[in-house]
Structure formats: C-alpha cells, structure tokens
Amino acid sequence: MDEIIPRFKGAIIVSLVLAFILMILPLREDWLVWRPEWLALTIIHWGLVSPQRSSLLLVWFIGLMVDALYGSILGQHALGYAIVLYMTLRMRPRVIADSFFQQIFIVFIVLGTYLLINLWILGVTGHSPKGWSYWWTVASSIVVWPFYHYFLQIFHLKKKSF
C-alpha cells in the first residue's frame, strides 16, 4: 500500500473534526445504537493510507475530548482510540492495497476490540449496556466504511510512483 500525502497540512485534523461533528449530531433515541463509530473509522482510514502522519498523541487528545463530551471516565475513549490506531498500524503491512474484504476484516477486528475495551470499562464502572444492541454499531460501521473511506479521499493526494 503506497503512502498517501494529505491534500493540505491540516487535512488529518480537519477530517477528525468532521468525524467529531458527525459523532455529536443529535439522533432519535432508537437510532443511537446504529450510529457508526465515525472517529474510529477516520483513525482507521488515516492509519491505513498515511501511517507516517498518524499520531498517537493526537488520537489520545481526541479521545480525551470525547471523554469530556460524554462524561465518561477520563481516558476511556483515549485508550480505545490509541489501541485502534496501534492495531491499524500493526495490521497495515498485511493488507493488499485495494482489497475490499481485507479492509472490512480489519475494520471489524479493530472496532470489535475498541468496543470490547469500552464494554469492559463500562462493566467495571457499573454502567454496562443491556442486551446485544451495543454491538450494532459495528455492523453499521462496516456498512458505512466503503463509502466513508471513499469520501475521505478528498483529503489526500495519491503519491505518484516513477
């Protein structure tokens, strides 16, 4: 997979802010369980296409902002997003450049791990969700991934090979 250059200096930050806005958009109560993990998908995207420019420190800071927004334990989402980026960077060499099914598999594994960590923290604090509806966000994120991954291509340029 070739290294991809962002279109402008703050492209990664702008895309993370866009994902943050998508994450806080109000939805009806029964639709909240289907909301994709926009920030995690953005982190996975940049980890796959531009690993040299992906920053654990930036991801940790975004996670702390999400913790402050949701009122969750400080570091819960920060740890989750850092693990999302780490796992994506570790699995990246095993992905064929445009293999759709490998990308879907990575999204499934990484988001499943992220949600499992959050579920563990919620369980320890006594706020564990009821039923299987907690995991529906993985399904919606997998459905949205190809379109969102394609949309995020407006933020980068393809590096030319000579």
pLDDT digits (tens, 9 = 90+) for 114-160: 999 999 998 898 888 888 888 899 999 999 999 998 888 888 776 55
First-residue to last-residue Cα distance in the chain: 15
Quote the pLDDT of residue 57: 93
- Whether residue 12 contacts residue 58, with contact meaning beta carbons closer than 8 Å, is answered with yes
Helices (H), 72-126: 76-91, 100-125
CA–CA–CA angle 103, 132, 88 (5° rounding): 25
pLDDT tops 70 at residue 1: no
Quote the pLDDT of residue 2: 61
* CATH architecture assignment, domain 4-158: Orthogonal Bundle (1.10)
- Whether residue 152 contacts residue 142, with contact meaning beta carbons closer than 8 Å, is answered with no
Domain edges within the chain: 4-158
Query: CB atoms < 10 A from the CB of 45, how many?
Result: 27
